[in-house]
Copies of this chain bind each other. A is one copy, B any other.
Amino acid sequence: MTTPNLHRQPAPPLYERIKGTLREGILSGHYAPASLLPSEAALGVQFNASRITVRQALADLQNEGLIFRRHGKGTFVSQPKAFQNVTALQGFAEAMSAQGHAIRNRVLKLRTVPAPTDVSQALQLPSGSPVTELHRVRLLDQLPVSFEVTWLPEALGSIVARADLAARDVFLVLEQDAGVALGHATLAIDAALADHATAAALDTGGGAALLRVERLTHDTQGAPIDFERLYFRGDALQYRLRLDRQVAAHAQSILPLQGTV
């Protein structure tokens, strides 16, 4: 298995060839962002393929995020995706406005609840302690891209609850209104399918792919003060970061987060 024969690869299936040709056309700019692709019928003629085969190629390109469909209008090339640099710990508005994007927030819920087990463990509070729970949809240039649930110890949460949360990041409210010195955060990043509530909040169909981030932020003393779950539309945003082969020793230890997410 270490040296497979380089010359006896089977020919790829037809839908793979159609997909490759269209992907190449999109990446090379032959098909420009937001432009209409040829119809399924036209692609069938072009590649001498059945409608089913063309659809399979288009479904794969749609899953990859390279194209999207508008019912009754056809298939279009996706716009380049927005990205957030995650070099430093920043709020979403803080990070994205540096690139010229406009961020607004829809506050869906703001309430005091007994801390669920995972939240009380993360925030190192006694089980069932009151915490402030905040549900927001973040709008990037007026489009919903992120659904975020934030839990704060009640003493901090009551200060955050008085702020203009439609416009301001929680991080900035914590620093400017609550006088907290933010230190570091641990992040756990994975992918999941949208559940009902998240799909509704993000205006995406059920079964959409989400970039899921669990973030536990600490103050400069190392005390956990802000626990969040962020759900980004997989087709709307990417995280970007840089890694070096050689890293300073002090940066190499990451505290484990909770086990289940």
Asked whether any CB of chain B lies closer than 8 Å to the CB of A78, the reply is yes
A 225-239 contacts with B by CB, 8 A? 232, 234-235, 237-239
B27 engages A192 (CB within 8 Å) = no
Interface residue count on the A side (C-beta < 8 Å): 91
CB-based contact A27/B234 at 8 Å: no
**Other-chain contact of A106, B1, B162, B235, B242 (Cβ < 8 Å):** B1
CB distance from A122 to the nearest CB of B (A): 10
For A187, what are the chain B residues with a Cβ–Cβ distance below 8 Å? Answer: 239-243
Chain B hits for A245, CB < 8 A? 88-89, 182-184
Task: Give the segment of A34-42, A44-52, A57-65, A68-76 that binds chain B.
Answer: A57-65
B3 and A161 contacting across the interface, CB-CB below 8 Å: yes
Report A6 CB to chain B, min CB distance, Å: 5
**Is A123 among interface residues, defined by CB-CB distance under 8 A?**
no
Complex Cα spacing A258 to B81, Å: 10
Q: How many copies does the complex hold?
A: 2
* B190 and A110 within 8 A (CB): no
Contact of A185 among B163, B165, B242 (CB under 8 A): B242
A11, CB-defined interface residue at 8 Å: no
Distance in angstroms between the alpha carbons of A261 and B242 in the assembled complex: 16
Check B64 against A195 for contact (C-beta < 8 Å). yes
A193 within 8 A of B: yes
Given known pairs A60-B195, A234-B191, the reply for A6 and B110 (CB within 8 Å) is: yes
Q: Contact at A240–B209, with CB atoms within 8 Å?
A: no
Within 8 A of B (CB), among A206-252: 207-212, 232, 234-235, 237-247, 251-252
Q: Given A190-B81, A191-B234, is A2 in contact with B107 using a C-beta cutoff of 8 Å?
A: yes
A86 within 8 A of B: yes
**CB-CB < 8 A to A27: which residues of B?**
116-118, 258, 260
Closest 10 A/B residue pairs (Cβ) = A191-B234, A80-B259, A60-B195, A191-B191, A190-B238, A88-B247, A63-B193, A89-B243, A191-B211, A191-B209
